[in-house]
């Protein structure tokens, strides 16, 4: 079957980017007819190919694992701009490990820990994150206690789709990705509440919690982080259609053991909470 014929089949099946997908499928290893049948049946292209492009990298993706979204590159970029090795980094709800993989590429030498509740995702992440500590468990329960108060950056791409909106998601996501990686509860922020409540005890003074949310969730998510005692800023990227909220653990004389001015992590400017920026 030629690339043009594959594109015609994909187009009739409703694939918007039929030509681009046909090129990838024709070049992929394995029987083309089987790969095409899986894609026509609605399986995400990335799961069919076995990889997803993310921040310039090829991330291995297996069936049943959440496919990393391009918008999550904002979290990686924001973290990398504020991070220098050596530092302890935690990737919560890591899925395939794409965020940790991309951040380690941008900032070599970080000490990386990744956590997910789904054993299939953990196995996938271990393949993408050689040398990192990748664990199965429920958020903080999977981390070594010795990391308390030592983490510089926490990346948390937790599920944030409100339960009532799951039915409106594209079928390839709704039918082929784990519901636990999509459903964020009534307002989409169930896991964010749990993450925000405990994050300060894991962060070092000046450490950062970065979460991804929908634009209409940023105000409420900011309130959650502020209520936990974190200094909050909201960041958006129109090209990526992405919104991220950062919470910084304040640097105080008590936390550092010496008097000094509270400062914004990663900068030399006094800290300015509740700022909104477009990156």
Both 54 and 74 in a single domain? no
63 contact partners, CB below 8 Å, separation of at least 6: 43, 47, 176
Note the pLDDT of residue 141. 95
- 65 domain residue, yes or no: no
Residues 86 and 221 in one domain: yes
Under a CB-based contact definition with an 8 Å cutoff, are residues 174 and 166 in contact?
Answer: yes
Range of the domain at 259: 70-278
Residue 193 lies in a domain: yes
Name the domain boundary from 60, 78, 102. Answer: 60
- Using pLDDT thresholds of 50, 70 and 90, give the confidence band for residue 253: confident
Last residue of a domain, one of 60, 91, 109: 60
**Is there a domain that residue 216 lies in?**
yes
* Tally of domains within the chain: 2
pLDDT of residue 122: 98
Quick one: 132 and 249 in the same domain? Answer: yes
Based on the fold, state whether residues 27 and 116 are members of the same structural domain. Answer: no
Residue 149 gets which letter from DSSP?
T
* pLDDT tens readout for residues 11-69: 999 999 999 999 999 999 999 999 999 999 999 999 999 999 999 999 999 999 999 99
* Pick from 141, 148, 142: nearest CA to 132: 142
- Predicted structure pTM score: 0.89
Quote the strand ranges of 93-202, DSSP E. Answer: 111-116, 133-136, 151-156
Could you tell me if 134 and 222 lie in one domain? Answer: yes
Residue 192 belongs to some domain of the structure:
yes
How would residue 230 be classed by pLDDT, with cut points 50, 70 and 90?
Answer: very high
> Looking at the structure, do residues 96 and 10 belong to the same domain, yes or no?
no
Phi, psi of 37 (to 5 degrees): -65, -40
Distance CA 49, CA 61 (A): 8
Q: Is the pLDDT of residue 264 over 50?
A: no
Pair 54, 184 in one domain: no
Q: Are residues 92 and 221 in the same domain?
A: yes
Across the range 236-259, mean pLDDT stands at 87
Question: Does residue 23 sit in the same domain as residue 119?
Answer: no
Cα separation, 212 vs 69, in Å, equals 11
The pair of structure tokens assigned to 205 is 């003074």
Considering the domain architecture, whether residues 100 and 41 belong to the same structural domain is answered as no
Tokens at 90, concatenated: 């935690």
202 lies in some domain: yes
N residues, the chain:
279
* 108 and 12 housed in the same domain: no
Q: What is the CA radius of gyration of the chain?
A: 20
Task: Indicate whether 106 and 234 sit together in one domain.
Answer: yes
Residue 225 lies inside a defined structural domain of this protein: yes
**Average pLDDT of 102-122?**
97
CATH of the domain at 155: 3.40.50.150
186 in a structural domain: yes
Has residue 243 been placed in a domain?
A: yes
């Amino acid at each position: 079957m030629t690339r043009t014929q594959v594109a015609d089949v994909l187009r009739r099946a409703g694939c918007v980017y039929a030509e681009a997908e046909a090129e990838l499928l024709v070049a992929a290893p394995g029987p083309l007819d089987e790969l095409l049948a899986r894609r026509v049946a609605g399986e995400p292209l990335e799961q069919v190919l076995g990889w997803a492009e993310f921040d310039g990298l090829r991330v291995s993706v297996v069936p049943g694992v959440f496919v990393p979204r391009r918008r999550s590159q904002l979290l990686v970029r924001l973290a990398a701009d504020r991070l220098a090795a050596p530092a302890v980094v935690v990737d919560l709800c890591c899925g395939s490990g794409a965020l940790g993989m991309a951040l380690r590429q941008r900032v070599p030498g970080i000490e990386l820990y990744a956590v997910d509740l789904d054993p299939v995702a953990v196995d996938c992440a271990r393949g993408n994150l050689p040398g990192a500590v990748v664990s199965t468990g429920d958020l903080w329960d999977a981390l070594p206690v010795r990391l308390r108060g030592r983490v510089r950056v926490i990346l948390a791409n937790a599920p944030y789709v409100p339960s009532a909106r799951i039915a409106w998601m594209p079928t390839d996501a709704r039918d082929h990705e784990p519901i636990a990686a999509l459903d964020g509860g009534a307002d989409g922020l169930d896991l964010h509440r749990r993450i925000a409540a405990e994050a300060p005890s894991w962060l070092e003074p000046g450490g950062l919690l970065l979460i991804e949310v929908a634009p209409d969730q940023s105000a409420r998510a900011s309130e959650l982080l502020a209520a936990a005692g974190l200094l909050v800023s909201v960041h958006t990227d129109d090209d990526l259609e992405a919104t991220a909220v950062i919470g910084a653990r304040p640097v105080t004389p008590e936390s550092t053991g010496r008097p000094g001015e509270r400062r914004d992590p990663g900068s030399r400017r006094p800290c300015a909470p509740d700022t909104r920026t477009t990156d």
